[in-house]
C-alpha cells in the first residue's frame, strides 16, 4: 500500500490516520505543535445537529445526522483499539425562549424540524423547567430534542492518539510541513525541517491553517479561514447542577461529565488572534446568566480560545482533487467534533478502495474551482 502523509494532528487528522492505519496503510501524521491541542481541544464537544440546524443547512444537516448515527460504532471501535472508553452522552438539548421574539423564532424552527420529521417536542415554560429545573423562570417556551448528544472531546483526542499509534501509525509532533511538493501535476511529498520526504498520498487536515501551507496550486488552496471561538469553563456545584444542554439565544451551556459547565461560544473574525477578551467573556456570562441565573456563584476554572476552520460556504471540504493522491479533510467549522466519524470512515474507505464516497459527494474542493478567490 502507498505511503500516506496527513498534515495536521487535530481530531480530523488523528481519526483519519487511525482508520487508514487499521486498513494496513502506511500512514504518518505530521503535526507542527502538539497533536490535539488546537481547535479540537478548545471545542465544547456538542453533537447536536438537530438543535444547531438553520433553515439553509439541509445538506450539511444530513451529513451531521449521519455522523451522529455513526458515533456509537466509532467509540466502540476506538475502545477496542485504544483501551480508552469514551462515552457518548445522550444529554438531550433544550432551546429555551424568554420573550416574544424568541418564541416566534423558536416556533418557526420547531415547525421546520417537525416538517422534515425530526423528533422534537414543544414545551411550555413550566414543562421546560421540569426537564431542566435550573432554567430561568422567565422561560416562556422551549424546543426539546431528546436524542442530541455530547462527548468529552479531550478524552476522545487521547484515545485517537493511542489507537492511531497502536494500529501502526506514526505521529511526529513539532514537525511543521513547510511545503507540499508537486512537480508536473504529480505529488512528490512534503518538506519538513528543510528536508524533502517522499509520499504518494497527502491529506491536508491542517484545520484553520490549511490554506497557509505553501506549495499548492492556487485553485487547490482550500478557502478556509480562522473563526475565533472563546469558551468559559465554570465548575458545577450544588447551587447549579445543570444536566441538559441548554442552547439559549447567543449562548450554550454544556454540563460535562468531568464537572465543568461550558459556556460558549463567541464567533469572531479576528484572524489568527487567540487572546481572550473582556467584551466577549462578559457577553457570554451575561447571556448565560439570563438563561440559567444560578451560574452567578459558580467559580471560573479557565477560558479557552480556538480557531475554527471556516470554509467560504461553511461546509466541510472532504475528498480528492484533480491531482492524484492529494486529498482534503478540512473546513469543518463549527461541526468538526460531530463530523469526525463520517469524515474518518468515509474518506479512509475512499482512499483505501479508490471508490468515491456517496455520502461525501458535494463536499469536495471542486465546488470552489469555478469561483474567483
Ligand X SMILES: Cc1cc2nc3c(=O)[nH]c(=O)nc-3n(C[C@H](O)[C@H](O)[C@H](O)COP(=O)(O)OP(=O)(O)OC[C@H]3O[C@@H](n4cnc5c(N)ncnc54)[C@H](O)[C@@H]3O)c2cc1C
User: What whole-number distance in Å separates Cα of residue 101 and Cα of residue 95?
Assistant: 14
Smallest gap from Cβ 270 to ligand X, in A, equals: 12
Q: Does 13 bind ligand X (CB under 6 A)?
A: yes
Distances (CA, A) of 338 to 6, 39, 130, 217, 335: 20, 13, 28, 30, 5
| Residue 338 grid cell | 460531530
Residue 10 interacts with ligand X (CB under 6 A): yes or no: yes
Query: Rule CB under 6 A: which of 27-66 touch ligand X?
Result: 30-33, 38-40, 42-46
Q: Which of 33/108 has CB closer to ligand X?
A: 33
By CB under 6 A, residue 176 contacts ligand X: yes
3-state secondary structure 64-88: HHHHHHHHHHHHHHHHHHHCCCCCE
Least CB distance to ligand X at residue 218 (A) = 18
Residues numbered 310 to 369 that lie near ligand X (CB under 6 A) are 330, 332-338
Burial 327-355 (b: 16+ CB within 10 A, else e): bbbbbbbbbbbbbbbbbbbbbbbbbbeee
Per CB under 6 A, 12 contacts ligand X: yes
Q: Please identify, among the stretches 11-19, 141-149, 195-203, 241-249, the one whose residues bind ligand X according to the rule CB under 6 A.
A: 11-19
Please answer whether residues 90 and 257 qualify as being in contact, where contact means their C-beta atoms are separated by less than 8 angstroms: no
Are the CB atoms for 319 and 357 separated by under 8 Å? yes
Largest CA distance in the chain: 67
Lay out the site mask for ligand X across 258-277 (x = CB under 6 A, - = otherwise).
------xx------------
Q: Taking CB under 6 A as the rule, does residue 161 contact ligand X? A: no
> Rounded to an integer, what distance in angstroms lies between the CA atom of residue 337 and that of residue 10?
10
- In the complex, minimum distance from the CB of residue 31 to ligand X, in angstroms, rounded to a whole number: 5
Q: Which residues bind ligand X (CB under 6 A)?
A: 7-13, 30-33, 38-40, 42-46, 176-177, 205-209, 213, 229, 231, 264-265, 306, 308-309, 330, 332-338
Amino acid at each position: 500500500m502507498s505511503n500516506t502523509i496527513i498534515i495536521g494532528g487535530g481530531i480530523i487528522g488523528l481519526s483519519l490516520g487511525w482508520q487508514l492505519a487499521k486498513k494496513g496503510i502506511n500512514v504518518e501524521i505530521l503535526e507542527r505543535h502538539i497533536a490535539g491541542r488546537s481547535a479540537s481541544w478548545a471545542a465544547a464537544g456538542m453533537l447536536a445537529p438537530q438543535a444547531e440546524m438553520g433553515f439553509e443547512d439541509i445538506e450539511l444537516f444530513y451529513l451531521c445526522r449521519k455522523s451522529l448515527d455513526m458515533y456509537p460504532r466509532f467509540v466502540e471501535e476506538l475502545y477496542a483499539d485504544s483501551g480508552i472508553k469514551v462515552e457518548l452522552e445522550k444529554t438531550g438539548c433544550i432551546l429555551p425562549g424568554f420573550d416574544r421574539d424568541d418564541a416566534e423564532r423558536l416556533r418557526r424552527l420547531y415547525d421546520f424540524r417537525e416538517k422534515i420529521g425530526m423528533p422534537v417536542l414543544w414545551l411550555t415554560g413550566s414543562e421546560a423547567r421540569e426537564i431542566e429545573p435550573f432554567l430561568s423562570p422567565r422561560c416562556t417556551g422551549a424546543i426539546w430534542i431528546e436524542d442530541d448528544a455530547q462527548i468529552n472531546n479531550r478524552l476522545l483526542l487521547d484515545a485517537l492518539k493511542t489507537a492511531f499509534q497502536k494500529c501502526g501509525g506514526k505521529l511526529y509532533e513539532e514537525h511543521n510541513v513547510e511545503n507540499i511538493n508537486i512537480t508536473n501535476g504529480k505529488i512528490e511529498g512534503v518538506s519538513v525541517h528543510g528536508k524533502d520526504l517522499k509520499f504518494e498520498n497527502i491529506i491536508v487536515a491542517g484545520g484553520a491553517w490549511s490554506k497557509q501551507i505553501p506549495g499548492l496550486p492556487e485553485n487547490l488552496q482550500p478557502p478556509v479561514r480562522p473563526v475565533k471561538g472563546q469558551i468559559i469553563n465554570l465548575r458545577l456545584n450544588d447551587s447549579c447542577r445543570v444536566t441538559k444542554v441548554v442552547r439559549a439565544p447567543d449562548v450554550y451551556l454544556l454540563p460535562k461529565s468531568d464537572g465543568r459547565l461550558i459556556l460558549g461560544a463567541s464567533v469572531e473574525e479576528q484572524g489568527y488572534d487567540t487572546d481572550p477578551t473582556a467584551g466577549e467573556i462578559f457577553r457570554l456570562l451575561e447571556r448565560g446568566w439570563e438563561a440559567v441565573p444560578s451560574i452567578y456563584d459558580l467559580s471560573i476554572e479557565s477560558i479557552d480560545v480556538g480557531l475554527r476552520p471556516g470554509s467560504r460556504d461553511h461546509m466541510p471540504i472532504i475528498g480528492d482533487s484533480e491531482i492524484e493522491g492529494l486529498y482534503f479533510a478540512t473546513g469543518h467549522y463549527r461541526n468538526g467534533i460531530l463530523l469526525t466519524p463520517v469524515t474518518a470512515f468515509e474518506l479512509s474507505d475512499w482512499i483505501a478502495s479508490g471508490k468515491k464516497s456517496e455520502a461525501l459527494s458535494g463536499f469536495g474542493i471542486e465546488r470552489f474551482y469555478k469561483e474567483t478567490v
